[in-house]
Structure 1
């Protein structure tokens, strides 16, 4: 065996050992990450479920122990019937659905214009458009404006507020994605006589599916769980799910009844979990698409 051959074998063995160590290190790192995520997410979820399945006596001090007798379905029934949850659910749907639809539609149309107009004024408009991500609206001013136009304490006024707040989220997600769409597609449609609205609805909008799925779940999550804006703007004239829970959690049915509060939270979260389960592939592809851009 020559010196060159021996050196090559030594180098190959060293490379194999390094690759094995790298794979082992990667596996250990992945296991540690899964353990941390499991602890951070699993413990709160476990506490939520076991507390919702207990009686009042057992749930007076929430803990990780299993209930001696599961009464999860009974607690759900109590919340639905006595907690006026169905009425609050209808109110949340009445506000959330048009708010999300209008925010996505108007935000997508604004994003299309901002993505295709690469001028300094449009850059300023874009910055103002996404400023809602970090700058909260002036609640007092919004309330006064709604009173002036007669929409205070109404679903229409609440929808208008949500659309104004969360359009910035849609613009932030969609504008970068539209810039990756070839302009030639729009030019071809215009050469065939298509007007701007037809170009948007037949060419641009269908291509925004994954990104809009991501924006949909985020905006829906924000609106569905909102208490702050609805508390001030609706002023008790309309019930939404989180607002109803907030109003009654410290009195009446929910006074120190943690099993009912946790049961309420589970039922309130189910629609969002179903939406995410159905649209998770599009949501993940939308997030990764935006990240690449």
Structure 2
């Protein structure tokens, strides 16, 4: 590639990136919004056309009342909040030890810890284990599953970030008489806020939208938003009512969209600081 071709490609890169973003994100988002704003007849065959008359607020109101969105939201929070807090706490502790103690054993443990990013969990084995422990169909069992699944993600990000923190800060606290737990809580943990913010958002995205593992583990005994959407979409009330199904998707996505829009800078800074360095 000669110099002119290189300059041309550099000029075309923003346009190509914009087209890819519009195709991969903009088109599905547009389909969801316009379908949620249509009447039942117009939404029978979802497409990208605008509705002849917007019914978005009416559809959202009907979904909120008939779809039991409030109770399902509370069920999702019951699972998401403890799972996210638990995986951040234990994952950051493990990452701190793995980053600071450079031994062959810890290198092996780190490789095993992050292998969960690419190796999917065996659902059948997980369900059978939870039955043996008496946790099948419970929120506690679901929280433990989520913590086990996404522990690798937290360890991966936090370990790289800890390595960028000067160890002299911890040594100074130890010289003042602080023990390991006090050093972690008072020195290390406050410095991990950027990468923990990134991990929080990523894990929340995964757990909030999960239906696969929740379906097999809790089986509808705890009503989360994705499971509730699956239930109401299969019921006679929502059968072929695509405008209501897509309106439910809009309601379910609003909290995550707001969180992502507010914290997108922290996501980028956390990834570059933790994963790249």
Question: What TM-score comes out, normalization by structure 1 length?
Answer: 0.89
Question: Where in structure 2 are there 5+ consecutive unaligned residues?
Answer: none
Match of 2:167 in 1: 183
Q: How far does residue 21 in structure 1 lie from its aligned partner after superposition? A: 8.8
- For structure 1, list consecutive stretches of 5 or more residues without a partner in the other structure: 1-17
C-alpha deviation, 1:197, in angstroms: 0.9
Match for residue 196 of structure 2? 212
1:114 equivalent to 2:98? Answer yes
Residue in structure 2 matching 1:199, options 183, 203, 207: 183
Once residues 172 and 260 of structure 2 are traced to their aligned partners in structure 1, the CA distance between those partners, rounded to angstroms, is 36
Superposition CA RMSD, Å: 1.8
> Which stretch of structure 1 is more off in the superposition, 142-151 or 218-227?
142-151
Superposed, which structure 2 residues align to 1:1-293 within 5 Å?
26-293=10-277
- SS for the counterpart of 1:90 is helix
User: Do the aligned residues in 2 keep the contact of 1:53 with 1:71 (CA within 8 Å)?
Assistant: yes
Match of 1:9 in 2: none
Runs of 4+ residues over 3 Å off in structure 1: 18-25
Determine the C-alpha separation between the residues in 2 that align with 1:29 and 1:176. Answer: 30
Superposed CA deviations along residues 159-216 of structure 1, whole A, max 9, x for unmatched, are 1111111111100111111111111111110000001111011111111111111111
Distance 1:127-1:25 versus aligned 2 partners, 3 A rule = closer
CA contact (8 A) 2:38 2:51 kept: yes
Figure out how many residues of one structure are paired with residues of the other and give that number.
276
Distance 1:164-1:54 versus aligned 2 partners, 3 A rule = same
Q: Contact conserved, 2:233 with 2:245, CA < 8 A, in 1?
A: yes
User: Does the 8 Å CA contact 1:250/1:256 hold for their aligned counterparts?
Assistant: no
TM-score by length of structure 2 reads 0.94
Higher Cα radius of gyration: 1
Q: Separation in 1 of the partners of 2:239 and 2:124?
A: 31
